[in-house]
Amino acid sequence: MLNPDRSFISLKNLSVNTLNSFFDTVKSLKLKNFRSERKGSVALMFFESSTRTRLSFELATQRTGMQALLFDGGPKTSLEKGETVEDSILNAAAMCPQAMVIRCSDQMDLAKISKQVFEVFQVPVLNAGWGRQGHPTQALLDYFTLLESFGSLRGLKLLIVGDAKHSRVIASHLEVAEVLGVQLGYCGPEVFAPVGFTGPRFLDLPSAIAWADSVYTLRFQFERHDGGLNFSEADYISKFQVNERVLTEYSSHKNVKLLHPGPINQGLEIEAGLSLSSWSLVFKQVQNGVLVRQALLTMCQEAR
């Protein structure tokens, strides 16, 4: 099969016996290894940018003893040749990884493709951030972090400050907060208010901070502000930026905590450097993100 120098460049001059013997080798690999290989890998498919989610899923994959198959949908993939994202996913699923972790835009129907992938290949799909629809592992790691910090979530008042309307993270919080007994409040400009939100809304940050046990600050989702905003960043900073002064002056909770899902626009939605302060749980969120994703991957392994 291989050339005398062990290279493999073309199929010229191969005998039928050589070819059949090679096919037998492939067949024996299929019988021997395919099933154990199915337990061995996780496809990480990121069609939108990510730092925390991608790295933490990669680390979680390693910790569960599996190998990460990385696909970032960038240049040099067949997306460049016109293959659809859905076809890329189905082709990766055909290699039967233990699970597929997918981040994608609103343009893709992640629920639909997940159903297809499971029906055809019995591979579970984990949502790693889907457009504005949701980011369930982020919400889980947020609530786990709050649970660790406060000991209980029931009755906790969590104030959301900033661009909730364009946030997939808040879409997932809204799915689970009530079940956990967490009361959500919102403070920020009207154009950033979460759609369909019925909880307490605050127009000024001091009274909102006075209400809250914890403050969840959100990134300006610039990439989703079609047509721009009707206020300036300076306006926003003066009214809604979470900073040391407002936390010190207005918090009535001696143990108030600050969270942010990242990435942070330092100096815009929160004061630069506040993520390193004693109020901050930001890096605990990141650490817990690895554990939450590891737990999910372990569940996928055990379900096989």
Binding residues (CB under 6 A) for ligand CP: these are 50-54, 129, 135, 138, 261-263
Strand, helix or coil for residue 124: coil
Q: Which is nearer to ligand CP, 129 or 162 (CB)?
A: 129
Minimum CB–partner distance for residue 292 and ligand CP (Å) = 12
* Residues present in the chain in total: 304
Minimum CB–partner distance for residue 138 and ligand CP (Å) = 5
With CA atoms as reference, report the closest residue to 205 among 241, 173, 231, 170: 241
| Tally of CB atoms within 10 A around 39 | 13
Looking at residue 128, its amino acid is A
Q: Which is nearer to ligand CP, 55 or 147 (CB)?
A: 55
- What residue is closest to ligand CP based on CB? 53
Minimum CB–partner distance for residue 50 and ligand CP (Å) = 3
CA distances from 159 to 20, 170, 183, 251 (A): 67, 11, 8, 12
SS3 letters across 54-96: HHHHHHHHHHCCCEEEEECCCCCCHHHHCCCHHHHHHHHHHCC
Facing residues of 125 across strands? 100
Helix (H) or strand (E) holding 245: helix 244-250
Minimum CB–partner distance for residue 169 and ligand CP (Å) = 7
Three-point CA angle 278, 259, 191, nearest 5° = 135
CA separation for the pair 192, 165 (Å, rounded): 5
Minimum CB–partner distance for residue 21 and ligand CP (Å) = 48
Q: Which is nearer to ligand CP, 257 or 293 (CB)?
A: 293
Q: Which is nearer to ligand CP, 52 or 63 (CB)?
A: 52
Q: Which is nearer to ligand CP, 24 or 223 (CB)?
A: 223
Q: Which is nearer to ligand CP, 135 or 166 (CB)?
A: 135
